[in-house]
Chains A and B, each alone.
Chain A
Amino acid sequence: MLELVLVSTLNGVLYGMLLFLMASGLTLIFSMMGVLNFAHASFYMLGAFFGFQISKYAGFWTGLILAPPLAGVIGALVERYGLRNVHKHGHVAELLFTFGLAFVMEEVVQIIWGKLPLDYRIPAALDFSGFTIFSTNYPAYKMFMLLTAIGIFIVLLLILTRTRVGLIIQASLTHPHMVGALGHNVPRIFMMVFGFGCALAAVAGVIAGPALVTQSNMAALLGPILFVVVVIGGLGSLSGAFVASLLIGLLQTFAIAVNLSIADVFGYFGVHTNPVPFLSDIWRVTVAQVGPILPYLLLVLVLIFRPTGLMGTRDT
């Protein structure tokens, strides 16, 4: 049992950190520009595909270093020449723009790399089992993913709170006009943040690509959950996104480990017959089976009871 708890915790934290890498960029972009970027997960996908392509010629590590800036530049260009023009027409136009962009990027990736999963391998240097908890091996690569994600989180936190750039970004979050009046080029800051957010998502893509599956629907698989993270954490709150990412990661992992169903709960109290026979499916379904929808349930609850999110300060 302890083994299961420990391994599930590790898995959950790892998944949570991956989510955070993406959610941090998304929440920064949202709080700054008010744009809910539907194409954000597509940059995660782009990162994985760029990483794969570069790793074929120059190895995994070069891919890890080059792919994120590449995706970041594309993100910055999207902001500069797409979003900024669309911005004039209001938020609905922006939403539609990013929504369409997500489809376009998926199609383009399919045209270039095809629809089949790619053979993106874990680098040989990390292809061994890192340590053993009781009898379960934990792969070294997963440890690497975890450490990378934590490292980036710390660096991000330091940049935002300890540097001048971070100060300006924080100021632009809340008082963009004031920052502009002080002589800073606010549109350029927006562009940089958008590009940086996309690059962060791409980092997640490069390191998740070999461990999960690199294929054109990977954005669609992670996209929806990303919005759940951002909304639960509170729109615009970095620490909220961090907490929500870990929460969702652990929730999904532990849900799988739990075999409890409504029937079991009633069983403890001596009720063994289903009082509502036509709901027998729901009666017997286990937490493990409903695991994938739990985050969305949480989303609904948060929106009802705390619309600002766990740590957010403004309404969604």
Chain B
Amino acid sequence: MAATGAVTAMSVFVVRGAAGFLPFWLARFHYNFSRPSIHFIVLRFASPVAVTFPLLILTRTQSLPAEPRCETGFTIFCNGLLACAKPAVRLVRDIPARMADIGFLTGANDCLNVASQRTKNTANNVEHSQSYRLNQAIDVSREDAMKFGLTAKLSAIVALGLLAIPFARPVSSADDTIKIAYIDPLSGGGASIGEVGLKTFQFLADELNSKGGSLGKKYEIVGYDNKLNAQETLVQVQKAIDSGIRIITQGNGSAFAAAISDFVTKYNERNPGKEVVYFNYAAVDPVLTNDKCSFWHFRWDANSDQKMEALSNYMKDRKNIKKIYMINQDYSFGHAVRTAALSMIKAKRPDIEFVGDELHPLLKITDFAPYIAKIKASGADSVITGNWGQDFSLLVKAAADAGLQTDWYTYYAGGTGGPTAMKQAGLSHRVFAIGEGFANVGHPPADAFETAIRAKYGFSLFYPRAVNQMRMLAAAIDKAKSTEPAKIGAALEGMKFEVFDGGEGYMRADDHQFIQPLYIASFGERSAKEKFDEEGTGWGWRTAGKIEAANTVLPTTCKMSRPAS
């Protein structure tokens, strides 16, 4: 390929978001790409990230179309908008400096403003300046705007450019809806549990909307798939923020929760007035409300230490426990469970022997038979596990297959597939779970809710905490008379609330941990007063013990730093 002729044109393309690509792609045929020229393409997807790469065209073609282009000047082509300025750039090394002012455009409007600004600035020392606007909807006054003859091909660009601009513009923070981004796994090993959570939140939003919403605004849940990946989680958070959402909720995976809490806290420091608040409905690593606490993080689930405290208090009176096997997921939450279990049970029942302490990869194992063989060989009579989702149901399924008969002390036995597996294993009232509420607690309003959600979706309520969370959000918005996250946060601090299964809870201001009554329940054959079964197994939950809110309070190391108001 022969490089011929001098570089006769330079341009900067600002392509914002995927939608911006369309006009760019079409324009490239009409623009300078067929002649020797240098172009800088600025790709902007998630602010403040902008990728710039140069494109040097060295070929020469004779057929140059007579479409708008800056003959020798500095051209800005931005999502269907075109402006020229001359002779702003003479040397290639000037360009990076000029990129700086263009690199932080935030939308089609800004794009055009810069174009017009540049035109004005350079008008003094330029003999020829021109700008061109393709979108009539955006009103920017410009004295020397002039029209070019539109060819049929260019009309196509205009049309597509107009289409693209609404997508490229940031969505204004919802005027008539309160949007909540639900960021959890909606594909892969965690999908079954993520899907149930999403529907539960949608059900709750519908419930609030049927009562008129808050401040005349409706609630809307928007699902984002984080694929159980920390990096993907942050990408999804950024996506949610970009589309104007300012309330985020996530629950599955403490590692991802920590990433979100950290991200949101830093984001809020950098973007005063555009704060985002994070509601954690299920990630229970204690560190989130201790060393790593944040004003912008609120947790409605009891943390792992609170749960283990309650569970171990129950276990210490069960004399049949002699040998305990622990199996947990190998990430922050699994580690938190095993550490708490070791220290608490050793303190309360020094005679109990720990015969196993297993950590396995999170949501990657499809056959637990090798683990079950190991549990069996250890001679354990009880198993402690914090496993959730597929990691619990497949674990118990493998136990059923191998005929392993032990007691199980769990955090999340009630999740999708769990009850079916427990029934299959024939473990009637030998699986215990700790939680903030179970189907057969017997609180009439809770029973009515349970009946309604089962009628609509066919699954039972796995997240009573989600109910508390959404209802408290509504209460906080009403109290603050605002949907500003900073004000919602302030209203939530210390808020007292009648929880889903009865009794009072409160959002502790010191660390944003919700303090609530906890229950221990066992799963198995039902008596007459236990009216709900699970997953069509005929078996249901039976309350084995209740821990009052006051007895679940643990000290915190959190030193909360609040935003200056």
**Which of A137, A212, A257, A289 has a CB less than 8 Å from the CB of B402?**
A137
**Is A8's CB under 8 angstroms from B370's CB?**
yes
A292 located at the interface, meaning its Cβ lies under 8 Å from any Cβ of chain B in the complex: yes
Cβ contacts under 8 Å, B374 to chain A:
4, 256-257, 288
Write the chain B residue with the least CB distance to A138: B402
Interface residues of A in 126-159 (CB under 8 A from B): 129, 132, 135-139, 142
**Is A289's CB under 8 angstroms from B359's CB?**
yes
How distant is the Cα of A125 from the Cα of B376 in the complex, in angstroms? 27
**Is A117's CB under 8 angstroms from B367's CB?**
no
Instruction: List the one stretch of B22-30, B76-84, B187-195 in contact with chain A.
Output: B187-195
**Is B188's CB under 8 angstroms from A115's CB?**
yes
How distant is the Cα of A212 from the Cα of B403 in the complex, in angstroms? 18
A44 located at the interface, meaning its Cβ lies under 8 Å from any Cβ of chain B in the complex: no
Interface residues of A in 246-276 (CB under 8 A from B): 252-253, 256-257, 259
**Which of B192, B358, B390 has a CB less than 8 Å from the CB of A288?**
B358
Interface residues of A in 195-214 (CB under 8 A from B): 211-213
**Is A136's CB under 8 angstroms from B370's CB?**
no
How distant is the Cα of A304 from the Cα of B187 in the complex, in angstroms? 37
**Nearest-CB distance from B328 to chain A (Å)?**
11
Assuming the A-B contacts A117-B390, A215-B189, A292-B364, are A135 and B370 also in contact, with contact meaning beta carbons closer than 8 angstroms in the complex? no
**Which of B187, B189, B370 has a CB less than 8 Å from the CB of A253?**
B370
B186 located at the interface, meaning its Cβ lies under 8 Å from any Cβ of chain A in the complex: yes
Q: How many A-B residue pairs have CB under 8 A?
A: 87
**Which of B192, B330, B369 has a CB less than 8 Å from the CB of A116?**
B192
Cβ contacts under 8 Å, A1 to chain B:
377
Assuming the A-B contacts A117-B390, A212-B367, A213-B366, are A136 and B373 also in contact, with contact meaning beta carbons closer than 8 angstroms in the complex? yes
A112 located at the interface, meaning its Cβ lies under 8 Å from any Cβ of chain B in the complex: no
Binary per-residue interface labels of chain B (205-226) against chain A in the complex, 1 for a CB within 8 Å, 0 otherwise = 0000000000000000000000
B144 located at the interface, meaning its Cβ lies under 8 Å from any Cβ of chain A in the complex: no
**Is A3's CB under 8 angstroms from B192's CB?**
no
Cβ contacts under 8 Å, A292 to chain B:
361, 364
Cβ contacts under 8 Å, A256 to chain B:
360, 370-371, 374
**Is A211's CB under 8 angstroms from B192's CB?**
no
Cβ contacts under 8 Å, A288 to chain B:
358-360, 374
Instruction: List the one stretch of A51-59, A166-174, A216-224, A227-235 in contact with chain B.
Output: A216-224
Cβ contacts under 8 Å, B361 to chain A:
292
**Is A117's CB under 8 angstroms from B191's CB?**
yes
**Which of A11, A15, A215 has a CB less than 8 Å from the CB of B188?**
A215
**Is B371's CB under 8 angstroms from A4's CB?**
no
B204 located at the interface, meaning its Cβ lies under 8 Å from any Cβ of chain A in the complex: no
How distant is the Cα of A253 from the Cα of B370 in the complex, in angstroms? 6
Write the chain B residue with the least CB distance to A217: B188
A7 located at the interface, meaning its Cβ lies under 8 Å from any Cβ of chain B in the complex: yes
Write the chain B residue with the least CB distance to A4: B377
A62 located at the interface, meaning its Cβ lies under 8 Å from any Cβ of chain B in the complex: no
Cβ contacts under 8 Å, A215 to chain B:
188-189, 191
**Is B191's CB under 8 angstroms from A116's CB?**
yes
Binary per-residue interface labels of chain B (82-95) against chain A in the complex, 1 for a CB within 8 Å, 0 otherwise = 00000000000000
B394 located at the interface, meaning its Cβ lies under 8 Å from any Cβ of chain A in the complex: yes
B353 located at the interface, meaning its Cβ lies under 8 Å from any Cβ of chain A in the complex: no
Cβ contacts under 8 Å, B403 to chain A:
129, 132, 135-137
**Nearest-CB distance from B64 to chain A (Å)?**
33
B498 located at the interface, meaning its Cβ lies under 8 Å from any Cβ of chain A in the complex: no
**Which of B187, B359, B366 has a CB less than 8 Å from the CB of A216?**
B187
**Nearest-CB distance from A104 to chain B (Å)?**
16
Interface residues of B in 153-193 (CB under 8 A from A): 186-189, 191-192
**Is A129's CB under 8 angstroms from B377's CB?**
no
B401 located at the interface, meaning its Cβ lies under 8 Å from any Cβ of chain A in the complex: yes
How distant is the Cα of A213 from the Cα of B368 in the complex, in angstroms? 12
Assuming the A-B contacts A137-B402, A257-B373, are A116 and B364 also in contact, with contact meaning beta carbons closer than 8 angstroms in the complex? no
A163 located at the interface, meaning its Cβ lies under 8 Å from any Cβ of chain B in the complex: no
Binary per-residue interface labels of chain B (368-410) against chain A in the complex, 1 for a CB within 8 Å, 0 otherwise = 0111011011000000000000100010000001111000000
How distant is the Cα of A289 from the Cα of B328 in the complex, in angstroms? 11
How distant is the Cα of A259 from the Cα of B189 in the complex, in angstroms? 26
Cβ contacts under 8 Å, B376 to chain A:
3-4, 7, 135-136
Binary per-residue interface labels of chain A (78-119) against chain B in the complex, 1 for a CB within 8 Å, 0 otherwise = 000000000000000000000000000000001000011100
How distant is the Cα of A116 from the Cα of B192 in the complex, in angstroms? 6
Cβ contacts under 8 Å, B187 to chain A:
110, 115, 216-217
Binary per-residue interface labels of chain B (264-275) against chain A in the complex, 1 for a CB within 8 Å, 0 otherwise = 000000000000
**Is A115's CB under 8 angstroms from B377's CB?**
no
Cβ contacts under 8 Å, A11 to chain B:
367, 369-370, 373
Assuming the A-B contacts A212-B366, A218-B366, A256-B371, are A139 and B191 also in contact, with contact meaning beta carbons closer than 8 angstroms in the complex? no
**Which of A115, A132, A211, A257 has a CB less than 8 Å from the CB of B191?**
A115
How distant is the Cα of A117 from the Cα of B393 in the complex, in angstroms? 12
Cβ contacts under 8 Å, A132 to chain B:
403
**Is A115's CB under 8 angstroms from B186's CB?**
yes
Cβ contacts under 8 Å, B191 to chain A:
115-117, 215
How distant is the Cα of A117 from the Cα of B394 in the complex, in angstroms? 12
Cβ contacts under 8 Å, B390 to chain A:
117, 213
How distant is the Cα of A316 from the Cα of B390 in the complex, in angstroms? 38
Write the chain A residue with the least CB distance to B330: A289
**Which of A15, A138, A257 has a CB less than 8 Å from the CB of B367?**
A15
**Nearest-CB distance from B190 to chain A (Å)?**
10
Write the chain B residue with the least CB distance to A222: B366
How distant is the Cα of A110 from the Cα of B188 in the complex, in angstroms? 10
How distant is the Cα of A243 from the Cα of B539 in the complex, in angstroms? 46
Write the chain A residue with the least CB distance to B405: A135
How distant is the Cα of A259 from the Cα of B195 in the complex, in angstroms? 36
**Nearest-CB distance from B194 to chain A (Å)?**
9
**Nearest-CB distance from A221 to chain B (Å)?**
7
**Nearest-CB distance from B173 to chain A (Å)?**
30
How distant is the Cα of A15 from the Cα of B186 in the complex, in angstroms? 28
Assuming the A-B contacts A132-B403, A215-B188, A292-B361, are A8 and B366 also in contact, with contact meaning beta carbons closer than 8 angstroms in the complex? no
Q: Please name 17 further chain A to chain B contacts, defined as beta carbons within 8 Å, in addition to the given A110-B187, A117-B192, A259-B356, sorted by A numbering.
A: A4-B376, A8-B370, A11-B369, A116-B192, A117-B191, A136-B404, A137-B402, A139-B401, A213-B189, A213-B366, A213-B394, A215-B191, A217-B189, A256-B370, A257-B370, A257-B377, A289-B330
| Chain B residues at the A interface, C-beta cutoff of 8 Å | 186-189, 191-192, 195, 330, 356, 358-361, 364, 366-367, 369-371, 373-374, 376-377, 390, 394, 401-404
- What are the nearest 10 A-B pairs in CB distance? A137-B403, A4-B377, A212-B366, A115-B187, A7-B373, A256-B370, A217-B188, A139-B401, A253-B370, A115-B191
Could you list some 30 contacts between A and B, CB below 8 A? Answer: A3-B376, A7-B373, A8-B370, A8-B373, A11-B373, A115-B187, A115-B188, A117-B191, A117-B192, A129-B403, A135-B376, A135-B403, A136-B373, A136-B376, A136-B402, A137-B403, A138-B402, A142-B369, A211-B367, A212-B367, A213-B366, A215-B188, A216-B187, A217-B187, A252-B370, A256-B371, A257-B373, A288-B358, A289-B330, A289-B360
